[in-house]
Structure formats: structure tokens, C-alpha cells
Structure 1
Amino acid sequence: MSEAMRDLLDILDLETLELNLFRGRSPQVGWQRVFGGQVVGQALVAAQRTVSADRHTHSLHGYFMRPGDPAVPIIYEVDRIRDGGSFTTRRVVAIQHGHAIFSLEASFQKDEPGLDHQVPMPLDVPAPETLMTQMELIERYGQNLPDAIRRFWARERPLQIRPVNIEHYASRDPLPPQQKVWMRINGVRSATQALNAAMLAYISDMTLLDTATFPHGRWGFEPDIQMASLDHAIWFHREPPNGMDDWLLYSQDTPSTMGARGFARGQIFSRDGTLIASVAQEGLIRLRTKQSA
């Protein structure tokens, strides 16, 4: 297991401070703010710690309020909203410097039989082994990236990302409002269902909001664009048949961008076509001016 993978597992293993109170840390990689997927994943872990093991996450909804400070720990306070016969509801508030930076509500359910269907996986998607890594794409096409961004992407990471749509990296032409990305977590072959959900929450924040810039020929790393997640929702449908260390296809689209906000949706499929989860996110996409900078 790589050091980056051990670090991710450590980040998702919160410290228990008191009943319903947990503490999480952030990796010290020189980033100015905490990655949103980390906060979602840690908040979900905090909620999971207060729920019986036979109940699994089926949905979560979160709001980002302030950027997280990676230099200090994040405190997660869990409110046990309801424990019903089949469903459990939890609310989690993430706190830094005395202020809420993120809030999450998550619902858990006992496994039950019932009706079962899913949409098919997109057709004619190249296999991940045939695609360039995101770092290779940035090395080839990202000459205008800030040095700090290039150094960040060059670090060892706990996952691999291989975009299908490379036009976004190669040009600034307006593109169709969709993209597809292969992702996988490195080196976790046998994880619990709870850990799989936390890792899925972690990766679900990657690349999604960027889709909302495609129709405009823009890129979130451009210096005159300010981008940040505003809210995030995940519906967990099925377990990944081969775990999180096998490739997952993240099929994304963006129905609307307006009012300095972009909206994007995603469906996550396993390689065999199983629909694992659905995701939705709205984020700030603000064109910087002298007034808004």
C-alpha cells in the first residue's frame, strides 16, 4: 500500500473525542484550502460512527459554508436526528475556528429486498488502460497552469483519474455539456461497506463541477475564475462488485450554468455496468473582476 493510500485511510479514520464528537485532520500538501471531498467523506464517517453496522448510507446532502483550513483539525459534531424501524437520520456539522464550514444530513437503511432496475452504462467508452492519466494530460496541455497546481497534481495520490474527454485539456473551444472520467482508488481490495461509501464520497467531488465550464471553453484553473463547491448530494445505489480499487466510470453532465453558479450531475458505474451511485452538485463559478476579486 502506498504512502498516499495509507494517508487517505488515516484521514478517514476520525479520532473520537466524546459521544457524538469527532476530530479529523487534513493532509499537509501545501494546498490553500481543504479538498471538499475530504470534508464530505469525513462527515459521513462521523455519522457512520453513531449508526448500527447493519444500516448503510443510502443518501447524503451537504452544504459548504466556508473554505476549510488544512493547517488545523476539523471538529465533527453529530446530531442523532432519528432512529426508526428501518431508517436512521443523522446531521453533522464540521467546525473550524469556532465556525461551521460544512453541514451534512445522511440517511441510513437496513438492507431490504424490493424492485430493482437501473439505467445502462454509456456505450462506446474507451477502456481506462487505453487513456492518458490526468497528470500526463496536464504535462502535455497544461503549460498555462500555475506552478502550484502543477506541483499539486505531480504528488503521489491515493487514486488514479483518466479522463475520456481530452479536448478540454487541449483547447478552449466550447464543448458539449458532458464528460466521462475513469477513476479508481489505489490498493484497497477488501474494504467494509462503510469505508467504500466514505471513499466514494471522497472521489465524487473530483472533476464534477469542472464539467460546468465545458460549454464555455473555460477551465477552473484559469486565474480569472473563482470556483468552489456550494452543495453536494450522493445517492448510494449498489456496492461496487470489485471494490473501489477497480475502475469506476464517472459519467457527468451539466444542465445549467447561470448567476455565477454551475450545476452538474454524475452517475458512477463499475466496469461491468453496475450503477453504483448518482451525484449532484452546484458550485460557484465566478468570473473575477476588480469588484469581485
Structure 2
Amino acid sequence: MNDALAVLLDLLDPEQVERDIFRGRSSAVSGVVPRVFGGQVAAQALVAAGRTVPSDRTAHSLHAYFLRPGDPAAPIVYTVDRIRDGRSFTTRRVVAIQHGRPVFHLSASFQRYEEGLEHQTEMAPAPDPETLETGAETVARHAGRFVDPVMAEWLLRAREAVDLRYVDAPPYAGVGQPREPRSQVWFRTAGKLADDPLLHICLATYISDMTLLDSVLLAHGRGGWAVGDVVGASLDHAMWFHRPFRADEWLLYDQSSPSSSGGRGLGQARIFTRDGALAVSVVQEGVLRVPRVRAAPPR
């Protein structure tokens, strides 16, 4: 395990300050960006929820709303509401609070394992991850395109903790060239993790917010916030965990966008294990606005 992954794991380990109250913080680089990364808040909230659930149950779904931009300079307080403890299912609601106001809301459901009907969609073809350049190499190769050096620094640090490899070029590499609204990436953590299922689910939750709206940008030839031709933020996020997986083994994130309208874009995705098992389904909507270009003043 490298230092970047150790820092990420520490970040996703909120402190328990009361029975159902937890406190999280943001990374050092987040202190110089305007808001907290949404995947961080979602993962910390899920950890808080999971730590109030019996150990024989694992998360099978989450539904979340991003209410306000998080302040990276302030701690985040997570309050857990124990909605239901049933014989098979456990439900938790988590509210993230900063400066006395809610910034994020998550509902998560946990289930005791049971057997039942089985079927799944097939994994789409994709090249082996070993044949692709690393995420850090991709970011470094295109860093000159970024309008904000802080964004480049954040992306590089993130790719040191998580090896995320694009099957095709990322949006910021092909500005002005619309493509099919689909994006595939392979990802895994940059080192082995403990066997705790909640840890792997929370890492996948964190990573799932990194690229899900890429397919929306590709459809319009936009590079996104990295190059400054779109201003955006996550609005809501939903995940369904179908089968066991490990975040420290290669997972294929197959993403697409069925629609964008009204200043919003929808991304949907499936996460497969390398042997083709459908592990997770993901849906996210984000606000995506094209900055207005002000006319030059008259001479």
C-alpha cells in the first residue's frame, strides 16, 4: 500500500464522537479547492451508517442527495438515524452537517445474506487493464489542458491512491469532438485492503463519483470542470450492490448517458468484476452549465 492510499483510507475513517454521531474531515488538497469532493462525503456517510449495523449485514443500496457545497476547511458531522432494524433488512438515514446546515443526505439499506433467483446482464467487451496507461500517466500527459493547477494536483493525488485507467480518452483530452455518450474505465486501489466488505463498498462509492458524468460531457465534446468549459456538481447519487467484490482487484466501470436537458445530465453505469460478474449498478444526475462568454466592452 502506498502513502496516497493510506491517506485515503484514513480520510474514509470518520471519528465516532457519540453513539450515532461521527465526524469526518477533508484531505489537505481539498483545502484549496472550492468544495468537498462528493464521493468523499458519500463514502464517509456510508461508513457512519455501516458502523451502526449488525456485522452479518452488508449494504445493498444507497440513495443520496447533495444539498450544498461542502466546506473543505471545516469538519463534517454525520448524524445517523436508525430508521429500522428488521429480521432481514436494516435501514439507516444519515445527514451531513456543516456550519449548522445540512449539506448532504443519504439513505442506505443493509441486508442479511440470503439465496434467491439469479440472472444478470453481460459485461461489455473491454481491453485488459494491463494494456492501458495508468490514471496518473493520463493526467500527467494532459495536465497542460487544465485551467486550474489545483485540479491537476487533486487528480494526480487521486490517481496515486486509485489506479483508474480509461479505455478511451477522457473528456478533457478531446475537447470540441463529440463522441458516443459512453465511457469505460478500469479501476482498483493502489494496494491491498483488509477483508471488511464495508470498506470495499465505501471505496467503490468514493470512486464511483470520479467519472460518472464523463459520458454526458463526451456527447457534447466538453472537457468539463478540468478545462473550464463546463461548471458542474453532483445533485444525487444512487447505487445498488448486487454481488460481492473487492475494490483492490480490477473492476470495469461501464458508463453511459441517456439524456441531458435543463442544465442537468444523467449518467448510468454498471460495475463488473474482471470475471464478468455484475457487482454494482450506479445512477447519478448532475448540474452541468456552460459558462456564459461575456461580450467585450465597446472601444
**Cα distance per residue 1:5-55 (max 9 Å; x no partner):** 111111122211112111111111133221111111010011111111111
Provide the residue aligned with 1:214 in structure 2: 218
Distance 2:202 2:146 in 1: 30
Deviates more, 1:25-34 or 1:249-258: 25-34
> Please, what is the CA RMSD of the aligned residues?
1.6
Distance 2:244 2:116 in 1: 16
**Contact conserved, 1:141 with 1:170, CA < 8 A, in 2?**
no
**Contact conserved, 2:4 with 2:157, CA < 8 A, in 1?**
no
**Contact conserved, 2:136 with 2:163, CA < 8 A, in 1?**
no
Q: Given residue 281 of structure 2, which amino acid in structure 1 is its aligned partner?
A: S
Q: Given residue 234 of structure 1, which amino acid in structure 2 is its aligned partner?
A: M
Q: Structure 1 residue 75 and structure 2 residue 77: aligned? A: yes
Equivalent pairs, count: 288
After TM superposition, the score normalised by the length of structure 1 is 0.94
Provide the residue aligned with 1:93 in structure 2: 95
Provide the residue aligned with 2:6 in structure 1: 6
* Residue from 56, 59, 67 that aligns with 1:57: 59
| Secondary structure, aligned partner of 2:144 | coil
CA spacing shift, 1:189–1:22, aligned 2, 3 Å: closer
**Cα distance per residue 1:87-114 (max 9 Å; x no partner):** 1111000001111110000011110010
The ranges of structure 1 where at least 4 consecutive aligned residues each deviate by more than 6 angstroms after the TM superposition are none
**Cα distance per residue 1:180-222 (max 9 Å; x no partner):** 0011112124321111111111111111012211110001123
After TM superposition, the score normalised by the length of structure 2 is 0.92
Map 1:87-166 to 2 at 5 A. Answer: 87-123=89-125, 125-146=126-147, 147-155=149-157, 157-166=160-169
1:281 CA drift (Å): 0.0
* Residue from 278, 282, 287 that aligns with 1:279: 282
Distance 2:175 2:233 in 1: 23
What 5-or-longer segments of structure 2 have no aligned partner? 295-299
**Contact conserved, 2:81 with 2:94, CA < 8 A, in 1?**
yes
CA spacing shift, 1:155–1:204, aligned 2, 3 Å: closer
Q: Given residue 179 of structure 1, which amino acid in structure 2 is its aligned partner?
A: S
Q: Given residue 99 of structure 1, which amino acid in structure 2 is its aligned partner?
A: R
What 5-or-longer segments of structure 1 have no aligned partner? none
Q: Given residue 43 of structure 1, which amino acid in structure 2 is its aligned partner?
A: A
Q: Structure 1 residue 257 and structure 2 residue 257: aligned? A: no
CA spacing shift, 1:154–1:85, aligned 2, 3 Å: closer
Aligned-pair identity in percent equals: 50
